[in-house]
Amino acid sequence: DDKTIHSPLFSSHIRDIAMLHEAGLQVVIIPGARSRIDEVLKASKVEWSYCDNIRVASADAMPYIKMAAFDVSNTIMTSLAANGLTGLIGNWVRARGKGIIDGFDYGIAGEIDRLDVESLKTVLNDGFIPIFPCIGWSVAGHPYNISSVILAQQIAIGLKADKLFYVMENGGLDADSFDYVKDEVTISESGKIAALDLEQVDLFIGTNMAMNPLPSEEKEQQLTNTYTYLNLASEACKQGVTRVHLVDGDLDGVLLSEIFSDLGSGTMIYTSNYGK
């Protein structure tokens, strides 16, 4: 979430990442760039729209999207350098155009075709921190705008990661905002549902999607975003990622708290046999 990048706590999050890296953990960063891309396109008077939460634009928008995406990645790299770490931006993502679906042309929106996992492992073993802009390239070198949240999931699956973190504004499941079986979940001090296994995730989604009518358009968007992250987390766990954490980028020390405290400060999604 690039809103986190512009938050006053951004430098603190990078310092925490530096601590984790120095402790021997391998880190990959996939920054969101949606708001920065919106800003650049608007300033350049380039039109775009969203369909199913996917940015749709003509080829004329691509230079501006690349500029914004790499701008965000360079911000990450600069902050890493300030903490004595070396970030590396690379083209490890092979992509293809989303194309025309049900008569609708998705323009320069792309889907992930392949990740160069072996090269990525080499970079990690050499002590670098890979940074992925939300851009993928076709075999012919054509760039496509891809989803950062899906990219993060696919990288975690490809690397068989122990942890996948989604750091975002108001991340994690607020206990007061959803319906759930109260005696089956634990609430953290920050008011978040601390953890859900995959069966609980399915039940949680089914229960809360049944809300009809939805209270407001804002609430509907909140639920849609929540389901997106929960579904991504669930699928990642099914494909070998040990734990997925949804955390709030507006909380200082959220990464360290989520890793090292008993309940953490966000919401952890895990397979039912975790810890066995």
pLDDT tens, per residue, the chain with 276 residues: 678 888 899 999 999 999 999 999 999 999 999 999 999 999 999 999 998 889 999 999 999 999 999 999 999 999 999 999 999 999 899 999 999 998 899 999 999 999 999 999 999 999 999 999 999 999 999 999 999 999 999 999 999 999 999 999 889 999 888 887 777 789 988 889 999 999 999 988 888 876 555 556 666 667 778 889 999 999 999 999 999 999 999 999 999 999 998 888 899 999 865 543
pTM above 0.85, yes or no: yes
Comparing CA positions, the residue from 209, 198, 204 lying closest to residue 271 is 198
User: Which amino acid, one-letter code, is at 63?
Assistant: P
Tell me, what's the pLDDT at 275?
44
Say if CB 95 and CB 137 are below 8 A apart: yes
Say if CB 5 and CB 12 are below 8 A apart: no
CA distance between the termini of the chain: 33
Taking the C-alpha atoms of residue 211 and residue 205, their distance in angstroms, rounded to an integer, is 10
Torsion of CA 200, 168, 231, 33, to 10 degrees: 180
Centre a 10 Å sphere on the Cβ of residue 81 and count the other Cβ atoms it contains.
12
Comparing CA positions, the residue from 7, 8, 26 lying closest to residue 17 is 26
Centre a 10 Å sphere on the Cβ of residue 30 and count the other Cβ atoms it contains.
25
Q: How far is CA 125 from CA 23, 24, 25, 154, 173, in A?
A: 14, 11, 11, 19, 34
Say if CB 245 and CB 166 are below 8 A apart: yes
Taking the C-alpha atoms of residue 223 and residue 211, their distance in angstroms, rounded to an integer, is 10
Say if CB 150 and CB 226 are below 8 A apart: no
Tell me if residue 101 falls in helix, strand or coil.
strand
Tell me, what's the pLDDT at 87?
97
Tell me, what's the pLDDT at 141?
93
Beta-bridged to residue 237, according to DSSP, are none
- Both tokens of residue 96? 């293809």
Torsion of CA 62, 64, 247, 235, to 10 degrees: 0
Taking the C-alpha atoms of residue 194 and residue 201, their distance in angstroms, rounded to an integer, is 12
